[in-house]
Structure 1
Amino acid sequence: MSHTDSPTSNRLLVALMVLLVLFSPMAIDIYLPALPYMAGDFNVSPTLAQDTVTWFMFSLGLGQLFAGPLADRFGRKPVAIIGISLYGLSSLMAWLATSMDMMLVARLLQGFGACATSVCAFAAVRDRFGAERSGHMISYLNGAICFVPALAPLLGSWLTQMFDWRANFTFMLGYAALGLVLVSVFLPETRPTHTDNAGRLFSLRRYWQVLRVPTFTYHIILCMLAMAVILAYVTSAPVLLMDRYGISMNSFTFWFGANAALNIAAAMLAPRYMQKFGSRRALNIGLMMLVGSGGLMLALSPIAAPWAFMLPIFTSSFGFAWVLGASAGAALAPFSDRAGTAAALLGLFQMSGAGLLVSLTQRLGLSASDLMTVHMWLLLPGLIILWSPKGKQWHGKAVRD
């Protein structure tokens, strides 16, 4: 065993990967309780305030088309450092924003910064742990990501109540400063020597070589649709629960944190289940949970109470964790030589695709419950395909190095 693959170095790498992947969910979850206050401060509609989330998600995914090839060409570490720097500067811009237009631009730039940290984290996992173990490690990273929805709204509520909503962006700036120091000093370069660097840095051919693999395309679409369920929830819940149902910020934080705790448990259980029974069974269970949650949401929609909305959310979050854990690893498995580009396309569909889809459906005038039902049922075709011969072909045994 080489020094770079020692248990100590692997633990350090995983810790730094957790630090990198937390930039994205923190930028969403910490200020969710403050969305109504932001809308009031800028004198805009709640839908426009929700766009600060979807604009971030859109650039978070779109930017990965550039961050992925850059990480393959120049390495994971320099791209991560540039992303953290942009994240910090855009956090400062959001803190200084005097209009919603300026805030939206800041959030767009912040998404571009966060995309670099996300691509480098997932590519480094694929670099170090290989095709088979990377799916398990991604599930653990997703479990770490789920701690943010549990804790960030608590912190965001306290910051908003003690100071104002801008204090949330002060915290993001501080996190970026800390992350910049730790990554600069401790992050090893994991880019393999056999990484595909031939040809132009940004070319359709580079992306098409990944997209044309049916296994990859099938699984990134599942990741996108599953992420859309979560995004529709996090953007709709603050307005529904606090404005329509009139619950307090602390009560909202309780419901949001309870859901995040369930998501954490599901994400931690998924790798163990996949090791014992296989990722195909885990994916099957996750998809059935999401589709079933849509039926439960529809059945409880006439009841105007927080628990009636949150109960299907609880079950869908469990399904989301298992779908993402099984699908993300399966999508990246075939690409040992283009892990950065594959991770970039995965992020594009998962973030930008989900953000665009939710932004469009939010403008259909649906109630929050109907909106959630639609997004949960969009995964039904994926479940049917999984049961078909093609599904068995596309989600077979893990590709081994």
Structure 2
Amino acid sequence: MRKCLTCCLMLILIYPLGVDLYLVGLPDIARDLNASAVDLHTAFSIYLAGMASTMIIAGIVSDRFGRKPIALLGALIFSCASYGAALTITADQFLFARFWQGVGAGFCYVVTFAILRDALDDDKRSKVLSVINGITCIVPVIAPVLGYLLLMNFKWPSLFTGMAIFAGISCFVCLVWLDETYHKNKDAHQATDRSGESLLSSLFLSRLFITCLSITAILTYVNTSPIILINQMGFSTAQYSISMAVLASFSMATSFLMPYLLSWLGQTRVLFLSQMLFLVCACVFFFTQALYLNTYLNLVGFAMIGVSFAMGFGVLMSQALKPFKQNAGLASSVLAICQIAFSAGYIWTMGMLGVSAVNMLIILLVFSSIANVIILIAVPNEQRSLQV
């Protein structure tokens, strides 16, 4: 089991590594490739597009041919695309490589959740996903530091060479250590009707909706934090970086404590507590703005968003996959695509409407906390998955 979890951890780290490691090299990339600011922004969007466009394929294929081939293929694609990005000499070539990085990362992301669904029961899966979530929170903190150290001695292509090496090692480790998990379910449930595992089950749809709101909350926080901390509160770049690292530590600590918290309070109480924290966060931002309180209270709100997300996300993902024994890959891909699309759509819509950064957070947090509590009461985890 430790070997399986090690493989899952390496696979899940590929996605955030592709997002965060290269950021410190953006000025050098722009100079050497003669890339515009639009190109640099597109490099992130096209990475997510690569993930979203092929996740369904990865999920369906893994449900048919097994998890291990998709894990190996995803890591291999990411490794090759990363090495290709290191060799690019034009912005178009760079964006092409970034798209295929996203494809590889998407394969790895989807298959990781499917493997955990196959290998672990609901309680263990919730705890493991919470810990994995904490480890992935470390990447945005450590990746810029590693990137800076690489740039001290090498040029920006070394950032992508590093990604290629990590993905290559992940591929080799999975080849040696990862046992196929899907056939176990297949053998044990030969009589199971796949049509009984509907994506329209009440449990899946409810957790899909809640996780979409949770992901949107954390991504809105990440996107609005520079505006609030730098533009409104006057933080320097160094102060902002330090603040984000400290704030991330709250999420990490919460994630690592989740196995104990779940054993003590249980999944239901933890989820309700996480949603109450979202509402408290909204109150902190609202009263800080309305009553002209010390703006440093915004940092308290940011920290609580991270804590609330860490408390709920792993549990919710585990519950969402609970109805699926044969179609866990497909379910994982649908979850990931909807989360990406919903969060991008919300941030884009609020931006087009001219909603301020703080109000974007307040609106989302209030709606999320109220709607999610209602859904959790209406569709408890113990409820048998009903067909719609």
- Scaled by the length of structure 1, what TM-score is found? 0.82
Deviates more, 1:118-127 or 1:58-67: 58-67
Q: Aligned letter for 2:361? A: M
Q: What is the Cα deviation at residue 147 of structure 1?
A: 2.0
Task: Evaluate the alpha carbon distance shift between residue 291 and residue 25 of structure 1 in structure 2; reply closer, same or farther with a 3 A threshold.
Answer: farther
Which letter maps to 2:259? Answer: P
Q: Structure 1 residues 171 and 357, CA, compared in 2 at 3 Å: closer, same or farther?
A: farther
Q: Structure 1 residues 172, 337: closer, same or farther in 2, change over 3 A? A: same
Match of 1:178? 169
The 1:335/1:307 distance shift into structure 2, 3 A limit, reads same
**1:114 Cα shift?**
0.7
Does residue 31 of structure 2 align to residue 31 of structure 1?
Answer: no
| Higher deviation after alignment, 311-320 or 56-65 | 56-65
Tell me whether 1:317 sits opposite 2:317 in the alignment.
Answer: no
1:33-182 equivalence runs, <5 A: 33-34=24-25, 42=34, 44-45=36-37, 49-98=40-89, 100-160=91-151, 163=154, 165-182=156-173
Letter in 2 for 1:156: G
Distance 2:39 2:365 in 1: 24
Q: Which residue of structure 2 lines up, in the alignment, with residue 255 of structure 1?
A: 243
Instruction: Quote the offset at 1:142 in angstroms.
Output: 1.2
Q: How big is each residue's C-alpha offset from its partner over 1:322-380, in whole Å with a ceiling of 9 and x where there is no partner?
A: 12022111101111222222222222222343334334444444443333334433413
Contact 2:288/2:295 (<8 A) preserved: no
What is aligned with 2:380?
A: 395
Deviations 1:224-254 (A, max 9, x none): 2211222233344457656787755544432
2:371 to 382, 386, 398: 382
> Aligned to 1:334, what secondary structure does the other structure show?
coil
Matched residue, 2:268: 280
Corresponding position of 1:370: 359
Aligned-residue Cα RMSD (Å) equals 3.4
Which amino acid is 2:130 matched to? S
Q: AA paired with 1:234?
A: V
SS in 1 for 2:323: coil
Q: Which runs of 5+ in 1 are unaligned?
A: 1-9, 199-204
1:3 corresponding residue in structure 2: none
Q: 1:133 to 1:151 in 2, by over 3 A?
A: same
Percent identity over the alignment is: 26
Structure 1 counterpart of 2:254, one-letter code: A
Question: Deviations along 1:108-128, whole A, 9 cap, x unmatched?
Answer: 322211111112211111111
**CA offsets, 1:158-179, max 9 Å, x none?**
3345545544323211211211
Match of 1:354 in 2: 343
2:222 is aligned to: 234
Are residues 68 and 207 of structure 1, via their aligned partners in 2, closer, same or farther at CA, if it must alter by over 3 Å?
farther
SS in 2 for 1:211: coil
Counterpart of 1:395 in 2: which secondary structure?
A: coil
Contact 2:247–2:306 (8 Å) recurs in 1:
yes
Q: How far apart, in 2, do the equivalents of 1:240 and 1:48 lie?
A: 25
Q: Counterpart amino acid of 1:373?
A: I
Q: Give the partner amino acid of 1:286.
A: S
CA distance in 2, matches of 1:121, 1:376: 29
After superposition, residues 286-297 of structure 1 pair within 5 angstroms as 286-297=274-285
Aligned: 1:224 with 2:212 = yes
Deviation of residue 207 (structure 1)? 9.3
Give the Cα–Cα distance (whole angstroms) in 2 for the partners of residues 306 and 156 of structure 1. Answer: 31
Q: Which moved more, 1:237-246 or 1:343-352?
A: 237-246
Cα distance in 1 for partners of 2:274, 2:374 equals 14
Is 1:327–2:316 an aligned residue pair?
yes
SS in 2 for 1:212: coil
CA, structure 1 residues 158+359, in 2 after alignment: closer, same or farther (shift >3 Å)? farther
Q: Is the 8 A contact 2:284 2:298 kept in 1?
A: no
- The change in CA–CA distance for 1:43 and 1:109 in structure 2 (over 3 A counts) is closer
Q: Any conservation in 2 of the 1:88–1:177 contact (CA below 8 Å)?
A: yes
Q: How far apart, in 2, do the equivalents of 1:241 and 1:251 lie? A: 9
